[in-house]
Amino acid sequence: MTGNIRVLIVDDYEMVRSGLSAFLIAFPELTLAGQAADGREALELCQALCPDVVLMDMLMPVMDGPSAIRAIRAVCPETKFIALTSFKGQELVQRAMDAGATSFLYKNVTAEELADAIRAAVAGQPTIAQDALQAIIHLRNQPPKPGHDLTEREREVLALIVQGLNNNEIADQLFVSRSTIKVHVGNIFAKLGVSSRTEAVSLALHLGILEE
């Protein structure tokens, strides 16, 4: 059977889309389902087509790759995603995999390697570029970032501490008892490994804990 794997190409550069389309033509079992210039356009196409595989650029205007992957997975849960980018970096790899990408490749991939990755993705098997794999291993070996285990309420309390409010003021603002806030503050200190409000504020600002 020919043309049985439907592939959607998403990239904000027309030249890249044309090049990837030419790659697909060389393999009779692969069919170009469509092309999109950004994540939002890809979402609209996927809602209509639900392709088997999406070749997803990571950095695009309007809606970037990771955001698009999350949105598309909600409407096309069977679709597989291959993150395809020119940029290297641990954060980009992490965002792609967290969003639900099956594979992560760089745009210098050969036609054969890309075709193999598409076939593997349909089978649920990941294909990770060597540099990206090293980044994943490095990230997994890193200790958890302070504040990663704060609850939503503890983040709210920490944000108010950063604003300079005391326990009584925080309790009034959140409409809870002062004893409840005292417990939350104690939990925040323990999870951040600090012993004072000043240290908690300094760590929160330095690490961007409330920006996540």
CATH code of residue 159? 1.10.10.10
Verify that 75 and 169 share a domain, yes or no. Answer: no
Position 146 in a domain:
no
pLDDT higher than threshold 80 for residue 144: no
Task: Give pLDDT tens digits for 43-101.
Answer: 999 999 999 999 999 999 999 999 999 999 999 999 999 999 988 777 788 889 889 99
Verify that 159 and 198 share a domain, yes or no. Answer: yes
Any alpha helices (H) in the chain, and if so which ranges? 14-25, 39-49, 65-75, 90-99, 111-122, 130-140, 152-162, 167-174, 178-192, 197-207
Verify that 122 and 168 share a domain, yes or no. Answer: no
Verify that 122 and 186 share a domain, yes or no. Answer: no
Verify that 71 and 124 share a domain, yes or no. Answer: yes
Tokens describing residue 70: 């999350």
Query: Is the torsion defined by CA of 35, 41, 47, 52 positive or negative?
Result: positive
CA distance linking residue 51 with residue 53, whole number of Å: 6
Position 115 in a domain:
yes
Verify that 97 and 188 share a domain, yes or no. Answer: no
Read off the pTM.
0.65
CA distance linking residue 23 with residue 158, whole number of Å: 51
Position 145 in a domain:
no
